[in-house]
Structure 1
Amino acid sequence: MTAPETVPGTVIAQHSRPHDATAAVRQNLLACWTAVVNAGGAVVPMGCPLPPVTPAALRPAVERITRELSPDHSRLLVATVDGALAGWLLLRREAHPLAAHCGVLNHVQTDVRFRGRGVGAAMMRHARSVARDEMGLERLQLAVRSGLGLEEFYRKAGWTEVGRWPGALRVAPGDDRDEILMSLTL
């Protein structure tokens, strides 16, 4: 099976300061995140109820993410297709000095209307380049929920599974999932 081509018209923008994330950007993030969570996506933030969620429930997380943007420590990558938000992710440098050469990807998501069309793969390639070439990072890490096939998506993008926490995530009573830890050398 060959990888899908990226949707024509895809543009990936980078926001590295709080003022870069305008009210329109934040509103688009909320709409995307709400749709992704309610479609079963594994991007429910801490302090947020399990699905179904409303934009109001996710607003504090979006405000925190955008407030903490910084060129050296936290960048928001937003993919659009013909002006419509198609996906986004957060790229952060580890805060502890012993791990400052490493970064973390959080909230990786593709709007449900654009899934399977190469947007996620394009965002992963762009995040890798930004992390290495602009932030000077040497390694990235992320955690994914088992049972959704996400680990295969990341493997195809060059990531390696480095560990699992069996049953660490309880999606519903009787539905425990592994948290899969993945790493990418830049």
Structure 2
Amino acid sequence: MNDVHTAEPRGSVRLAYVLDPPVTTELREGIAELWADVVNAGGAVGFVPPVTPEDTRPQLRKHLIGMAEGTTRLLVGTAERGRPVATAFFALNTHRLMRHWVWLQTVMVHPDRQGGGAGRELMAAAEAAATAIDPDITGIRLTCRGGLGLERFYAACGYREVGRVPAAIKLGDGELRDDVTMWLPLG
């Protein structure tokens, strides 16, 4: 477990960003609840609202299996009593020609924390965590759902758009969004 970064995005409650926290029942349940809260507030993290924590658990389980196998790392931002209010999962590349960069997945900040800089703080902590994972990592790649302004947010955090697949994400009948790939060079 590594303390990566602390931030005070809104109010007087500090967020502590930790890489590879112990995976407890409380952490698993907290992330499942966070995921549902983010989706239900309009967040683009793999689901369409409405969802419950139970709906998010199968996807969370995939991340946890990757963590157990050593191919996924978790960065979590916690608030009072260790409650998770921000996450980012790193998927490590196993292909020998691509081990020098990582995927950033399931990037979330609780709706109550949005709009006060917590997202930018999470992205800064993710950049620091990538270097902590391996100093030879030269970049972070992520994808986001088009049409929500996420590209502008990630660009403001230093990422640049490097690819776009039109209409690759189907939210419902007749509602298609682009799948946008963003890249942050490190070092």
Which category describes the TM-score, using the shorter chain as reference length?
Answer: 0.7 to 0.9
Moved >6 Å (runs of 4+): none
For residues 69 and 53 of structure 1, what CA distance do their matches in structure 2 show? 24
For residues 69 and 160 of structure 2, what CA distance do their matches in structure 1 show? 27
Q: Which residue of 2 aligns with 1:67?
A: 65
Structure 1 segment 108-123 matched on structure 2, within 5 A: 108-123=107-122
Contact 1:93 1:101 in 2 (8 A): no
Contact 1:6 1:117 in 2 (8 A): yes
Q: Which residue of 1 aligns with 2:42?
A: 40
Structure 1 segment 1-186 matched on structure 2, within 5 A: 6-7=9-10, 8=12, 9-15=14-20, 20-44=22-46, 50-69=48-67, 73-83=71-81, 84-136=83-135, 137-186=137-186
Deviation at 1:72, TM superposition (A): 6.0
Instruction: Report the TM-score when normalising by structure 2.
Output: 0.86
Cα distance 1:152–1:55, how it changes in 2: closer, same or farther (>3 A)? same
CA-to-aligned-CA distance 1:95-117 (integer Å, 9 cap, x gap): 21111111000000111111111
Cα distance 1:131–1:71, how it changes in 2: closer, same or farther (>3 A)? farther
For residues 69 and 117 of structure 2, what CA distance do their matches in structure 1 show? 26
CA-to-aligned-CA distance 1:102-137 (integer Å, 9 cap, x gap): 100000011111111111111111111111243231
* Partner SS, residue 56 of structure 2: helix
Deviation at 1:157, TM superposition (A): 0.5
Instruction: Report the TM-score when normalising by structure 1.
Output: 0.86
* Partner SS, residue 123 of structure 1: helix
For residues 117 and 70 of structure 1, what CA distance do their matches in structure 2 show? 33
- Structure 2 unmatched ranges of 5 or more: 1-7
* Partner SS, residue 106 of structure 1: strand
The letter for the 1-side match of 2:9 is T
The letter for the 2-side match of 1:118 is G
Deviation at 1:82, TM superposition (A): 2.9
For residues 59 and 52 of structure 2, what CA distance do their matches in structure 1 show? 12
The letter for the 2-side match of 1:15 is D
- Structure 1 unmatched ranges of 5 or more: none
The letter for the 2-side match of 1:75 is R
For residues 134 and 69 of structure 2, what CA distance do their matches in structure 1 show? 8
Deviation at 1:67, TM superposition (A): 2.8
CA-to-aligned-CA distance 1:123-181 (integer Å, 9 cap, x gap): 11111111124323111100011111111110010000001111111112222111111
